[in-house]
Amino acid sequence: MLVDQDAPAYSRSLQQHFFFLLHNRCKTIRHLSEIHARIITNGFINKSFILVKLLSLYAVFNNLPHARQVFDQVRNPSTMLWNQIIRGYSVNDNSRRSIELFNQMGRSPALPDGHTYTFVINGCAKGGLWGEGEQVHGQVLKSGICSNVYVRTSLVDFYVKSGGEGGLMKARDVFDEMSERNVVSWNTLLLGCFRCGDVDGARRVFDEIPGRNVVSWTTMIAGCAQNGRCKEALALFREMQHEDIEIDQVTLVAVLSACAELGDLNLGKWIHSYIFELLAYRKYPVLVSLNNALIHMYASCGEIDSAFAIFRGMEHKTVVSWTSMITGFAKHGYGVRALCVFQWMETTNNVRPDEITYLGVLSACSHCGYVNEGRRYFNHMVEARGIEPRIEHFGCMVDLLSRAGLLDEAHELVKCMPMKPNDAVWGALLGGCRIYKRVELAADVADWLTEELDPGRGAGYFVLLSNVYAAAKKWRDVVAVRQKMLDVKMRKPPGRSWIQIDGRIFEFLAGDRSHEISGRIHVVLGAIMTEATLQDDVAYFMDA
């Protein structure tokens, strides 16, 4: 511990006492203010090591005006004091002020060190100050601190967050120039690859990392899951277990996300038992995000009652918890239960529904045909909550009205939307046209589909349009739509399904015979079809 060796013993004891109080007694800003006052009255306001801790705690409590007042009273701040005030502004969403202080420091006797540059660069990354960050990079090169691994890692992170392939290339250049790298440097570059959607590049980086830690594995698993490569994510998780890497709760959140996408209920249940056996044994609190991931996994795998049991057992629920449960009920057709959960949510004072919550509510209304309730919740979202409707909210309303046969109202809503309708909105209206045989309106939708929709995405909607014409026996129009699909070389993507047997997931495409036992599968399907046909024939003759 730093103390003034020239001070009397009792003075050094007081310094140590105040330092102890700052370390252990400051639980609130009121406590900090009281200790600050005692430091002033005892004449220790100029003790650098006490001021550094004082500034650090004011930053923790996000009370930067008091921190700045303390700092401004110091005649010649040391580099450590400059670092604390710069860091305080950078971590509390005032990056531009941290840059101003950094420039002011450059005109003072104090010299920036590695911590200074790290705090400033992190602030630039957090505040999106890309030009200023590149200027700081230039000063790093001039200062001779460019070999500092922490400064270099901050620069990699800065360029990664600047976005795009250009940012990733600059990050890679900084990384390649590093004479010393740690696992944080590697993990930062790994995350940068995923930010740019370069999953294959991320895999190459991952394979090169020496001494991969749990963050490396979790980043790789989460990145694969978020980029549609869930099978690879689960394979990585099994490899992680094989290498005896200690699994943390953040890893399990990522794995549960992949389980939800693939419908891997067995692994999801294993993780559930692992959580409540191992974590309960160690008396670790379960993260709310992990409970939310369990709710999502069970709901996605059809175990909606298990999802609700997790939800009800949560002591602390976030807006994500409520939204996941509402959306889960809505997807399974339990509209009444979804709306009951939403009404329950509205009675709590600590959680407010957001735009995603209202998407789940409107979806529930749509699936259950609750037209009046849907209108009411849509208006309540705008007028009472002040939430600006997104295109997805309009899509839910169009779907609700179209399913209920209110096609004219749905069409008017589409025309009054403040943004350009997308294919999902028009597709919802077209679905209503098919149900209620509104050929004229379907033709209007077809004009938009023909002019605006990307041929690679519109095959399903054109098939739906041809079905509308076929239901109305307009065979020429059916032929015209099919010819249009041929002219633009539009093909409907094949249907996809999967099934899990003995812990292994089998994926199938419509018309695909590449499976290793495809022949046996089709023999069984043929037998099922034959038996179904015979049963229909027997029922026909019995009725006759």
Domain of 286 in residue numbering reads as: 212-316
Residue 175 lies in a domain: no
Look at residues 296, 316, 336 and tell me which one is the last residue of a structural domain. 316
Look at residues 316, 347, 379 and tell me which one is the last residue of a structural domain. 316
Residue 227 lies in a domain: yes
Measured CA to CA, the distance from residue 123 to residue 86 in angstroms comes to 9
Measured CA to CA, the distance from residue 77 to residue 89 in angstroms comes to 17
Residue 262 lies in a domain: yes
| 221 has a pLDDT exceeding 80 | yes
| 380 has a pLDDT exceeding 60 | yes
Torsion, Cα of 28, 34, 38, 44 (10° steps): 40
Look at residues 289, 316, 343 and tell me which one is the last residue of a structural domain. 316
Each residue of 507-541: pLDDT tens digit?
666 666 666 777 788 788 788 878 776 665 555 44
Average per-residue pLDDT in the chain? 83
What is the reported pLDDT for 10? 45
| 263 has a pLDDT exceeding 70 | yes
Residue 515 lies in a domain: yes
Residue 384 lies in a domain: no
Residue 453 lies in a domain: no
For residue 150, the tally of other CB atoms under 10 A from its CB is 16
Residue 94 lies in a domain: no
Each residue of 407-456: pLDDT tens digit?
999 999 998 999 988 878 888 888 888 888 787 788 777 667 666 655 55
On whether the CB atoms of residues 129 and 96 are closer than 8 A, the answer is yes
b/e burial code for range 312-327 (CB count within 10 A of at least 16 → b): eebeebebbbbbbbbb
Q: What pTM does this model have?
A: 0.77
Q: How many domains does the chain have?
A: 2
On whether the CB atoms of residues 241 and 274 are closer than 8 A, the answer is no
On whether the CB atoms of residues 429 and 402 are closer than 8 A, the answer is yes
Q: Which of 266, 278, 265, 233 is nearest to 251 (CA)?
A: 233
Residue 401 lies in a domain: no
Measured CA to CA, the distance from residue 218 to residue 231 in angstroms comes to 15
Measured CA to CA, the distance from residue 215 to residue 188 in angstroms comes to 10
For residue 80, the tally of other CB atoms under 10 A from its CB is 16
Contacts of 160 (CB under 8 A, 6+ apart): 167, 168, 171, 188, 189, 191, 192, 195
Give, in degrees to the nearest 5, the angle at Cα 147 between 142 and 150: 110
Each residue of 122-138: pLDDT tens digit?
999 988 899 999 999 99
